Structure 1
């Protein structure tokens, strides 16, 4: 399987599959098209995932968690650093894919986003080695009180379409650093760099630690939220979706991390520098085609 896209190509040559348990999983069900928004062309067909795919990914992630739980912060840190290096080494291919899939200028992705993606992985690699627990003091005579931080388990992450690669890294990086395994659902509109990231990670992380499933919010996203084998759900999306995720996750007492919202208001005071206001209104309204919180 290869997620190789060139700007001049109208279609990815090879079939795209879900990445589950360290391998590309064949898919006989329906697929859905992925478009180049600049041209309207179909550049790929990706699996239209099902709840069965979610269940398969959860089983793989839970199996991998048994050993991943035992890895040391140093081991996890070193793997994240290797992934950061792999992302930088794959810069041209990632830029081609991101440009074709989300419509961003290739040069903008390379200058504004790629290095941030690698730097985020390096940040999480550093954070993996300084996890700490604090206690305010002793609570009973004759006993020592302490807090021990342990991995939660399987984290289901649902990423948006406005920064496909960066948001995929924001989702998987901290979860992996803390010793969790991950099931990532990228946006059904922009899944290609997340799949390429899985391809890069396959040579670095043990099978099942990172899983990527494509498909719609229902059944894939909702299936991740509902699944009893998922311990935590992370979503970046709109407020209405966040409410639904929080409600569904409560049925199995999952931990929930929600990054919700949209465009912020611009408040201008009487003493404001109007030239600066004008500049930042333009940036806030149109940077990244306006798709930036």
Structure 2
């Protein structure tokens, strides 16, 4: 048997995939969310390909999962205008809403999100190449993170209701939203790490323009209606397309107040430079996730190595 034949036999066919994990026909997504409405894009689409190859009659072929909208700068700016309008210099419905009511909206979204667990997990596996266990873990950790964020805000709000005496001055500390946030996440954890900036931004009263990661984009589709139905119009806007065309246009307006980006430091630096007033741009950045692992002499070395590899 030739090397080519042996390699060909390593790839499964579509019928080898358990039925509950098959995707069916490619998904042509044309919907995107702006100002509380699911808009339909009639322009060009970007193909979404899986890292998985399957055995076919024509040989080994990469699976095409579907397509997503290639929005242009005008569509992105429309989303930004909706977020700016909803924020209204801090006087909009969402930023001025009591904390308890904002929490109710996030809890409504969480309940709707949990209904889509199977669909999101399946897309995580096919788009990112994660196994079932890791895909389920990412979804469940994201839900747990939302619950923890809600609890933390409740505690912050309780502390903010008290008066504090500091050096003879009696005062009350209140936390307020910062403005319009642009949230972008990474492809390796396109749900979990993206939501670690998106959910805090929303629950604190900011309005958001959210652009999914380049890889792991279709898995947001099952959540679009949950976003639309759970938050007031303009509070969360979901756009797609090439970052050079959409994100660059957003930054150049100077209307972005918070830039939440989990990616390379070069990408973050290049985008921040586009902002006409970078000194007033708040940034929450991942900066390549170069987290140091420090091993002290007194530790159990076998356990430390195992934990370091798990964390990496």
Under a length normalisation based on structure 2, what TM-score does the superposition of the two structures give?
0.78
Does the 8 Å contact 1:84/1:119 carry over to 2?
no
Q: Counterpart of 1:64?
A: 86
- Which is further off, 260-269 or 73-82? 260-269
Q: Counterpart of 2:48?
A: 34
Distance change in 2, residues 1:49/1:55 (3 Å): same
Q: CA deviation at 1:262?
A: 4.0
Does the 8 Å contact 2:261/2:286 carry over to 1?
yes
Matched residue SS, 1:224: helix
Q: Counterpart of 1:289?
A: none
Q: CA deviation at 1:181?
A: 0.8
Distance change in 2, residues 1:163/1:135 (3 Å): same
Q: Counterpart of 2:236?
A: 210
Unaligned runs of 5+ in 2: 1-19, 54-61
Q: 1:152 aligns with which of 157, 162, 178?
A: 178
Quick one: distance in 2 between partners of 1:191 and 1:224?
19
Distance change in 2, residues 1:255/1:249 (3 Å): farther
Per-residue CA shift, 1:185-206, capped at 9, x if unaligned? 1112221222322322222111
Matched residue SS, 2:43: coil
Quick one: distance in 2 between partners of 1:187 and 1:18?
14
Distance change in 2, residues 1:232/1:271 (3 Å): closer
Q: Any residues of structure 2 matched to 1:45-194 within 5 Å, and which?
A: 45-65=67-87, 66-110=92-136, 112-129=137-154, 130-131=156-157, 137=166, 145-194=171-220
Q: Counterpart of 2:247?
A: 221
Matched residue SS, 1:28: coil
Distance change in 2, residues 1:265/1:251 (3 Å): same
Distance change in 2, residues 1:221/1:74 (3 Å): same
- Paired residues in the alignment total 276
Q: CA deviation at 1:251?
A: 2.7
Q: CA deviation at 1:265?
A: 5.9
Q: CA deviation at 1:27?
A: 1.7
Quick one: distance in 2 between partners of 1:11 and 1:236?
29
Per-residue CA shift, 1:41-87, capped at 9, x if unaligned? 22121111222122100111122222112211001111112222222
Per-residue CA shift, 1:182-228, capped at 9, x if unaligned? 11111122212223223222221112111111122202222232232
Does the 8 Å contact 1:195/1:212 carry over to 2?
no
Higher strand share: 2
Does the 8 Å contact 2:260/2:284 carry over to 1?
yes
Under a length normalisation based on structure 1, what TM-score does the superposition of the two structures give?
0.83
Q: CA deviation at 1:93?
A: 1.3
